[in-house]
Amino acid sequence: MRGLLLAVLALSVFGCASVKKVESGTNRLGERFTISIEGAWNQLDFPGVKPAQVWTMEGVTVDEFLIFNGIRDGEVMNSKSGNGKQQDFVFRKSMPTEEIVSLFEGVLSRDNAVFKLIKIEPYPFGGKKGFRFEYERIRKTDNVQLRGVGFGAVDGGDLFALLYHAPRLTFFPRHQARVEAIAATAVIR
Amino acid sequence: MKRRTFLAGATAWGLGLVSRPGRTADDLGYSAPPRFTRPETSGEEGGLWALMDREERNLRRSPLIVRDGDLQSYVQDIACRLGSDHCPDIRVTLVRTPLFNASMAPNGMMQVWTGLLLRVENEAQLAAVLGHEIGHYLQKHSVERLRDIKSKSAIGQVFGLFGLAGAVGQLAVAASAYAYGRQHETEADRIGAQLMHRAGYQVGEAAKIWSNLLAESQAAEGKGANGSLLFATHPAPPERRAMLEDIARSLPDGVTGEEAFGRHVQRYLDEWLNDEIKRGQYAESLVLTTRHIARKFALETMHYHRGEIYRLRGRDGDLDLALGDYRNAIENDKPYPLALRGIGLIQRQRGQRKEAIEMLSRYLELAPAAPDALFIQSYIAELNS
Amino acid sequence: MNTLTETRASVCSLLRLTALVTALSLSSIAFAAASLNLAPGFSSLEKGATVVIMPPDVELFSISGGGVSEPKADWTETATGYIINELRRKSDVLGMKNVALSEKDADDLAEINTLHAAVAQSIALHHFQGGNFSLPTKGGQLDWSLGEAVGPIHQTSGADYALFVWIRDSYASAERKAAMVALAMLGVGIPGGFQVGYASLVNLHTGQILWFNRLIRGTGDLRTATDAAETVQELLSQFPRSQ
């Protein structure tokens, strides 16, 4: 009995998730997408997060830096979590910017969070013609009020984007400048 | 027991009850109990009060309540006039949730959801719902119901409903667990109608709520868990509507308060409609906006949002319908800025350069500080080059 | 995590909790090394330091036979009272001067209490649980700060420190217990009730979390004053006495 339980323990701790260090410097996120970071980050290597990569500074329940590395035409933007009844959000290469931002809004409201777009503007991202947007969210699961910023561009029919959100108290202001700096270093090849 | 007498049923209602001094001939003769005092915490009812006090505190601290004093006091005032002697015990909280619901707990906490305020058409309809909930309160139905369902395992979800800030996802389950018995609903409807009447409202409006909601739910594609949720908690609308129409005939006259209601909710409509559209129940949202358009309420706003629903649904022909609605929203001398934007964005995609530029430029003139001003400017520059 | 990994993460943490609780109840592993609880450079409070006790965020559940958790608001209400009393008593014993908040103040400070809960869960996972979940950038240290967000607590209460407590506790119903026994005989373990708690001491001038502790166990009860006191004792067991 005890052996069985220890096996369960091992499985659940080692099988589920891990956190990897992302070192300071230039990081190649994929074939075509590179960013440079100053100071290390933590990457949450959880099996359920795809298609995004998730990085954090303060922890899984506090802040998220989401990296979308070349989402293809027809690809689902949200992870396959939830009860299966919820709507999936699919990227189309024909989408104009305003629809891509609505797509992110959908992805970020999938947990019933209240989402409000604060600003959207053109932004040269990764050397391409892109966009930048700011938003607010209220997580309904725990009532935490978040602020966020996102950057993105479509190139060769693929979507590249970085999103960061954290509690509007303390954490978003603390890390916003770092995130803006990272976005400025992005290169799409 | 007075309550039992009152409950005695349709025949007593039809015949009219013993007359009481001070009531008008067409009054149904309900007399409310005196104000309630806080029961002992150790008892069953006291336990329910304590529990609701806690939920009220949680709700008060939720970022999802509407903190605007004007609208809150407007609804509070209506509840107060309906509750009459019980006014000091009624505390209204407006909760930002795009579903049709209101509830009142035995401690006097009343919740009104913004999805309800988006759906009723006037003060009388709002008063009908509030009066109905006050009816449950006056007759202490929740205490009786607690006894009823205590044995059911669903009771937790009942309280999940009150702690809704974190439990909206469970609402469908909660709503079904939360149902009052049909007898209680009928009784609350009758009391509500009478409270409406005494407060000077047109009782006939109560039945209209059900017609409207029925139309919405019939439009819904399939019985999704995210539907309006109201048939889980209330008797089937056709009978209910018939009964309310019946009562209305014996309680004529009164005002609807359409203008005042519209004035108070006007500046929230955009936010509430945005929340409504995000439910993704486009068929229901279309019925709702179409209904408001038919009664010429907030025309520009409703046309714009119906346009948005079509644009988002994006079936064959929907973009044309969206354009039609957007155009309706800019017809008069005060065009709705976001509708100009809508036309501009669609025409840009369709390669209608000239109109796209014109519409987007007009949008920016009217809304220079819009969240997407810089972004739209870049579209205009691109179209011009 | 919020959007993308929420479901997965919660499934994982549930499994992990279950496994941990079981392991802990089987063997008496003593868990708490002092460095785990203390921020770098902090050892204890000065004697008579003023500490405001934040409204504890507590929720009690009953687990039905089918495994559904039902919030029990009446239990919660009573338990919260017991916990506040014990926190006051215990903070006296530890040499602190405690300050209470009015309901109105608590309403105004609700957002920071919510923020604490989110941060505490990250500390519990990434620092206490550690291992695969450690955040490499934190270097194994208790290095979290609520920052300037705590300023209003200092302004409202006048205190220099705040003690935050967050507890979730669940109890198996009789039918659930029967199911547990039945399944255990078939060699299948299913979770009964368990208790999870977090406590933080926060410097109200810097926001730094100076001390943190986590409770996670299959025992403990909050439904009686004596048992609730035991839980608080346990949660504050590593708390350094004021010097």
Chain A residue with Cα closest to B372 = A120
> Is the residue at C41 inside a domain?
yes
- Does residue B310 fall inside a structural domain? yes
pLDDT at C160 over 60: yes
Residue C29 has pLDDT above 80, yes or no: no
Q: B137: domain range?
A: 2-9+45-258
Contact state of A120 with B371 under an 8 Å Cβ cutoff: yes
B361 phi, psi to nearest 5 deg: -65, -45
Residue C89 lies in a domain: yes
Does residue B35 fall inside a structural domain?
no
Residue C240 placed within a domain: no
Pick from A169, A167, A165, A168: which is nearest to A179 by CA?
A: A165
Say if residue B224 is in the same domain as residue B306: no
B166 Cα to chain C: minimum distance (Å): 12
pLDDT at residue B45, rounded to an integer: 77
The total domain count for chain B is 2
Is there a domain that residue B175 lies in? Answer: yes
Min Cα–Cα distance to chain A from B280, Å: 8
What average pLDDT does the segment B26-55 reach? 78
CB contact under 8 A, A121 and B62: no
B158/chain C closest Cα distance in angstroms: 9
C197: closest CA of chain B, how far (Å): 19
B314 shares contact with chain A (CB less than 8 Å): no
Residue pLDDT, tens place only, B204-252: 999 999 889 888 888 875 544 444 444 445 556 778 888 889 899 989 8
Contacts of A150 in chain C (CB under 8 A): none
Window 101-140 of A, Cβ < 8 Å to C:
107-108, 110-111, 113, 137, 139
A67 has which bridge partners? A53, A162
All chains having 3 or more CB pairs closer than 8 angstroms to chain B: A, C
Name the residue range of residue C200's domain: 6-235
Average pLDDT, stretch A128-146? 93
Mean pLDDT of the residues in chain B: 81
| Residue B52 within a domain | yes
User: Is residue B31 a part of any domain in this protein?
Assistant: no
Q: Which of residues 71-90 of C touch B (CB under 8 A)?
A: 71-74, 76-77
Residue C65 lies in a domain: yes
B63 touches chain A (CB under 8 A): yes
One domain, residues B251 and B305: no
> Could you give the number of structural domains in chain C?
1
- Give the count of beta carbons closer than 10 Å to the beta carbon of residue B53: 18
Q: Each residue of B265-324: pLDDT tens digit?
A: 999 999 999 989 887 788 999 999 999 999 999 999 999 999 999 998 888 999 999 999
Neighbours of chain A (3+ CB pairs under 8 A): B, C
Torsion of CA B326, B329, B335, B336, to 10 degrees: -80
Task: Evaluate whether residue C108 is within a structural domain.
Answer: yes
Is residue C1 in some structural domain? Answer: no
Residue B158 has pLDDT above 60, yes or no: no
Across the interface, whether the CB atoms of B371 and A117 are under 8 A apart is answered yes
Burial class (CB in 10 A: 0-12, 13-18, 19+), B124: buried
Given CB atoms, is A43 within the 8 Å cutoff of chain C? no
Record: contact C189-A170, CB cut-off 8 A: no
All structural domains of chain A with their residue ranges? 17-188
A133: distance to nearest CA of chain C, Å?
18
Chain B hits for A147, Cβ within 8 Å: none
pLDDT of residue B7: 33
| Angstrom distance (rounded) from CA B310 to CA C131 | 51
Q: What whole-number distance in Å separates Cα of residue B17 and Cα of residue B9?
A: 11
Q: Inter-chain contact A97–B375, Cβ cutoff 8 Å?
A: yes
Tell me whether residue C15 is in a domain.
Answer: yes
Whether residue B215 is found in the same domain as residue B322: no
Question: Residue B62 and residue A143: Cβ atoms within 8 Å?
Answer: yes
Task: State the nearest Cα–Cα gap between A59 and chain C, in angstroms.
Answer: 5
Q: Does domain A17-188 correspond to CATH entry 3.40.1000.10? A: yes
Regarding whether B367 and B254 lie in a shared domain, the answer is: no
Q: Which of B258, B281, B312 is the last residue of a domain?
A: B258
Both tokens of C208, joined, read 């730094």
Q: What pLDDT shows up at residue B280?
A: 79
Bridge-based pairing state of the strands C50-53 and C97-99? parallel
C27 in contact with chain B, both atoms CB, cutoff 8 A: no
Partners of B155 on chain C (C-beta within 8 Å) are: 70
Mean pLDDT, range B369-385, rounded to an integer: 95
Please state, in angstroms and rounded to a whole number, the distance separating the CA atoms of residues C64 and C44: 43
In a domain, B221, yes or no: yes
